[in-house]
Structure 1
Amino acid sequence: MPVSVGPYGQTQPNCFDRVKMGFMMGFAVGMAAGAMFGTFSCLRIGMRGRELMGGVGKTMLQSGGTFGTFMAIGMGIRC
C-alpha cells in the first residue's frame, strides 16, 4: 500500500510507530488508574510513608505495563 503524503509533505506513521504510540498512551492511562486504585488500596490496608510510596509506585508500574501492552496489541491488530 503506498504511503499517502499530506498537504505539507508529512507522511503517515508506520506500523511500529503506531504500536509504540499505543503502548505509550496505554501506559499513561494505566499509570493514572494505578495511582488512584493503588493509593486507595494501600491506604485501606494501613500503609504509611515510604511503604505507601513503594506500594503505590509498584501498582502504577504494573497497571501501566499491563494496559500499555494491551493497547499496543490493539494498535498492532489495526495496522
Structure 2
Amino acid sequence: MPVAVGPYGQTQASCFDRVKMGFMMGFAVGMAAGAMFGTFSCLRIGMRGRELMGGVGKTMMQSGGTFGTFMSIGMGIRC
C-alpha cells in the first residue's frame, strides 16, 4: 500500500500511529491530573512518607490509563 504524502513532502501517520499518539497524550494529561488530585486526596486522609508516594503513584497510573484509553478511542474514531 503506498504511503500518502502531504503537501510539503511529509508522510501521513497511519491510523495505529494516531491511536498510539492519542493514548500517549492522554496518559500524560491523566498522569498530571492524577498527581494533583492524588496528592490532595492522600494528604487529606492523612497519608505520609512511603504510603503517600504509593497512593499518589497508584492514582496517577489509574487516571493516566483511563484518560489515555478514552483519548485513544477518540483518535481511533477520527481515523
Q: Using structure 2 for the length normalisation, give the TM-score.
A: 0.92
Provide the C-alpha distance between the structure 1 equivalents of 2:35 and 2:65, rounded to a whole number of angstroms. 13
Provide the C-alpha distance between the structure 1 equivalents of 2:74 and 2:36, rounded to a whole number of angstroms. 24
Q: CA deviation at 1:20?
A: 0.2
SS at match of 2:77: helix
Q: CA deviation at 1:6?
A: 3.0
Percent pairwise identity: 94
Provide the C-alpha distance between the structure 2 equivalents of 1:59 and 1:74, rounded to a whole number of angstroms. 23
Q: CA deviation at 1:50?
A: 0.2
Segments of 5+ residues of structure 2 without an aligned counterpart are none
Q: CA deviation at 1:8?
A: 4.5
Q: Using structure 1 for the length normalisation, give the TM-score.
A: 0.92
RMSD: 1.7
Provide the C-alpha distance between the structure 1 equivalents of 2:67 and 2:6, rounded to a whole number of angstroms. 32
1:33-55 Cα shifts (integer Å, max 9, x gaps): 00000000000000000000000
